[in-house]
Structure 1
Amino acid sequence: MLAGLLLAGCQRQPLPVELSGATMGTSWHVTYLPVANGFEPEAVQAELEALLVAINDSMSTWQTDSEISRFNRSSPGAWVAVSTSFAEVVAEALAIGELSGGAYDVTVGPLVELWGFGPARPRIDVPSAAAIRERQQQVGQQFLELDLEQGRMRRLREVELDLSSIAKGYAVDVLAEALLAQQITDFLVEVGGEMRLSGSSPRGDAWRVAVERPQPGARSVALGIALTDAAVATSGDYRNYFEVDGRRYSHSIDPRSGRPVAHDLVSVTVIAADCMGADAWATALTVLGAEQALALAEDQGLAVYLLRRDGERIVPSYSSAFEPWLEVSTRID
């Protein structure tokens, strides 16, 4: 998803405020229209940055003292107290994992590492079947138990939780709710390409975002969408991959097989009310492939836009819930 918004034509007053920074190994951006008697931009930025720090302190596997890292070090079978926000994100992830039939699994980290898409050095070869089977023993959300009522979790086996496929979307929602609490209703919030939009753009109409055309080595637009009061997330497997003997191995790992996906679906865009769900669903549907993704989207009422590769062509398809967005979109051929 291209994060840039298209500011064509004359801007209305007041002029938009633009804030940005770094978080979660990526960047965040906020554009909003200020309100009368509202906080100064410096105060808004400070609050948003504090919220992002808190999310990192809870959900970053890169921080050894984070809430998630402490949980991943807990003894199997031992209950661990977790924060309400942490439990909320895990509950959403587990629900989507179940609905997707295991295509989405927040314990897939060991397989991601094995295939060279984690923080370690990238692979230059294909792991053996034995190595894949061994890592699969360390994967499975069924070995996580969440007690929402008591605010606690435990591992039934030494699996490790990784919320990177949903945490950015959650962060978008947290920032959006913070702006709404300040009576700011016209805004775009983006973290690592995942977005939530509210009210009107600086032009006075809907915000415009773009679905990127899956094209390695270049950036172009496949579809422009006019959005308001919605969240949007895109997942694709066309930039992060390696090749061995002419075969491409994507960073999108199917937890069920232990291997990178091998179908022709290259991009999934999900529009939803909240970005946390859109973020996780985009990952889940990417793993499933076009046919299963569309079937599940229809079953769950998800607004989904898919791009698959057919030789040299990029072929779009979409769920019925996405059709209303096409009425206010521009397809770029």
Structure 2
Amino acid sequence: MLNDRQLRQLLDSLTSAVLVLDENLSLCYLNNAAEDLLAASSTRVKGSMLEEVVRESPAAYEAMREALRKNEKYTVRRASWRLNNLETRTVDYSVSPVPEFSVLLVEVQPMDRLLRIAREDALLNAQETTRNLVRGMAHEVKNPLGGIRGAAQLLQRELPDPALDEYTQIIIEEVDRLRNLVDRLLGPRQPVVLQPVNVHEVLERVAQLLDAECIGELQIRRDYDPSIPDVPADSEQLIQALLNIARNAMQAIDESIGLSSGEMVLRTRIQRQFTIGRRNCPLVCRIEIEDNGPGIPEEIRERIFFPMISGRAEGSGLGLSISQNIINQHKGLIKCDSQPGRSIFQIYLPLTTELANTGA
């Protein structure tokens, strides 16, 4: 027979969050998973009313009281719990009355991670489909461009009047412009070569380039975590990916509030147990590029990493697509949170100790 201490150890070993509530919906017990979910220690919240720890609709609390009175079990899907730290959790939970002790047993399964994985999978699949379509079209466009350019050069040599060279030169220059656009659509030609890279040196290079472009008008703040080890990355391509994001932000600031009123923050942090796609990474480096620009229009927020999608009239719509392609080659992830007056791009790069040590 298990004693109380052994029973608690057993419940603490569960990955599902378990709450025990009395007839007044006061918290009698939380296991370790519940403490993590609610971002609160059992010592601090024990004895508190559930509604003081989790914000949900009054009907939800009444349903729990009714379940205890009638001794009926039930399950709620996709409930939204607002915590005291103002974070929101999407959860499934099952309520089971235990009439012998006049308590409710609430088993909670957080769904945020699963929902995020599903959203990211759907988005990445859609982006990959679009990217393959664009690459196929780009190759079809690029093939005849060489012939057009060659024909224009031959025609230029045969023209009797040198004054007509202007027209063939226009053809050649426009072909070159289209070829450069196609090359950008196709993305980086070389695969990434991963080497141990100091991510702060990469960010300093990005800041240096931005500072030169805006002649020091834009305020760029640093918020670095100096404990971050070297990241397995291709330095040049990582600079390009981050520069595309930061340059977009700088241009949006310039067109809205002006560079002198703008601010950009370059931030780094370590994050543990993060899921990229369906891979669990024990340790990742999180790079954030935050700005106080106008934000990304709501109607294109879900599509900003697609080729040819831009929130700016003068934008090509290729920079973010190229950045995502580079980060994907690093087995990383880009996320964006944008609202008027504040946008944050988060780049997650796996920290693989073996790779960083060997330079493989």
Normalised by the size of structure 1, how large is the TM-score?
A: 0.22
Higher helix share: 2
**Bigger Cα Rg:** 2
Higher RCO (CA-CA < 8 Å; seq separation 6+): 1
